[in-house]
Structure 1
Amino acid sequence: MIAVVGIGANLGDARASVADALARLETRPGCRLVAASSLWRTAPIDSSGDDYINAVALVETTLDAPALLELLQAIETAHGRERPYRNAPRTLDLDLLLYGDAVIDTPALSVPHPRMHERAFVLAPLLEVAPDARIPGRGRAADYLPGVAGQAIARLGQVPGPSTHLFSKGPL
């Protein structure tokens, strides 16, 4: 199964946090990092604090969606993630955006992520690594770019650190 994970941080060394999250995804049992986008800088949406550093990862996984979510939350916790209020600034935020073409709607997990088509910080890096990506129930991710054109976003370049090698771009 190919899953798409959104990664963001705006507290502490956000670039290092994103790079570490990618490295952790690459080394966890049941996961293989297939592709990682560049880093992107965006202003907070419905939040406050410094600009975010964002990326998207394509992960081949044998974990089911709830187990993958649990893994993502464990990585967040290892980075000191706290949830004092909705949309609080974050040391690390990992969102399960897509899980193959599955549609999941439980109290703990909504896939596809319900606002991914409204966020430039998701669409730009997603389309960088998976230009033909589709959002189940919505269609082509690229079709939503015009709707986020007013959101400031800047490509910063490749992820620093050990994950800077090129990943093969897998199917999505």
Structure 2
Amino acid sequence: MELAYIGLGSNLENPIAQVQHALTELGQLPLSQLVACSSLYATPPVGPQDQPDFINAVAAIETALSPLALLDQLQALEQCHRRQRLRHWGPRTLDLDLLLYGQRTVEHPRLRVPHAHMHERAFVLVPLSEVAAGQSLPLHQQPLDHWLAHLDHSAIKRLSHTELLADVTTSATI
């Protein structure tokens, strides 16, 4: 079994519910077990700003799936959530990124692990540091705290239980 970290993001069709459902679904992947998940965070979009803010989180799973088999499972979940790739860095119902897979590095036309540029993205490192405190990134060999100290994460807002409950109540009445 390998410990893998998955980044989750959504900014369409009730993003909080999209991420929460995806967390449940990650726990049901074959040969895998959900072992931890971060809080949910509201974050501004990267790239085009003419879209809603994102809800982001990170999940840790133990898996016996190979990196490419795990990627296939993640992309299948995105499709179940009606993910459409209309433009680069555009809005989406669900985005699942394989961030880390143990201490392995993967260079494949379909997959790069560690995820490219993750060490430059506060919306990834803030929730990742919650579930992987003290973790160092392969290749860079610097702990997450090192990378976080070099990033502006002032626009990232951890969602409170009240906000999460309000979203569930709103979803139930729609």
Normalised by the size of structure 2, how large is the TM-score? 0.88
Counterpart of 2:76 (choices 74, 77, 95) is 74
Structure 1, unaligned stretches of length 5 or more?
162-172
User: 1:87 maps to what in 2?
Assistant: 89
Task: Return the offset for 1:141.
Answer: 1.5
CA distance in 2, matches of 1:125, 1:104: 22
CA distance in 1, matches of 2:153, 2:14: 27
Any idea what SS the aligned residue of 2:87 has?
A: coil
Matched, 1:148 2:151: yes
Does structure 2 conserve the Cα–Cα contact (< 8 Å) formed by 1:103 and 1:112?
yes
CA distance in 1, matches of 2:93, 2:32: 22
Task: Return the offset for 1:32.
Answer: 0.3
Does structure 1 conserve the Cα–Cα contact (< 8 Å) formed by 2:47 and 2:90?
no
Task: Return the offset for 1:129.
Answer: 1.1
Question: What residue identity is the alignment partner of 2:145?
Answer: A
Structure 2, unaligned stretches of length 5 or more?
166-174
User: 1:168 maps to what in 2?
Assistant: none
Q: Per the alignment, do residues 157 and 102 of structure 1 end up closer, same or farther by CA in structure 2, a change over 3 Å counting?
A: farther
User: 1:63 maps to what in 2?
Assistant: 65
User: 1:102 maps to what in 2?
Assistant: 104
User: 1:117 maps to what in 2?
Assistant: 119
CA distance in 1, matches of 2:87, 2:152: 28
Instruction: Please report the RMSD computed on the Cα atoms of aligned residues, expressed in angstroms.
Output: 1.6
Task: Return the offset for 1:68.
Answer: 0.2
Between 1:63-72 and 1:126-135, the stretch displaced more is 126-135
Q: Greater Rg, structure 1 or structure 2?
A: 2
Provide the aligned length of Structure 1 versus Structure 2: 161
Normalised by the size of structure 1, how large is the TM-score? 0.89
Question: Which structure has more RCO (C-alpha within 8 Å, separation ≥ 6)?
Answer: 1
Percent identity over paired residues:
46
Task: Return the offset for 1:27.
Answer: 1.3
Q: Per the alignment, do residues 150 and 7 of structure 1 end up closer, same or farther by CA in structure 2, a change over 3 Å counting?
A: closer
User: Cα deviation per residue 1:30-54 (whole Å; 9 max; x = unaligned)?
Assistant: 1100000000010001133100000
CA distance in 2, matches of 1:114, 1:18: 22
CA distance in 2, matches of 1:150, 1:8: 16
User: Cα deviation per residue 1:148-168 (whole Å; 9 max; x = unaligned)?
Assistant: 22551011146969xxxxxxx
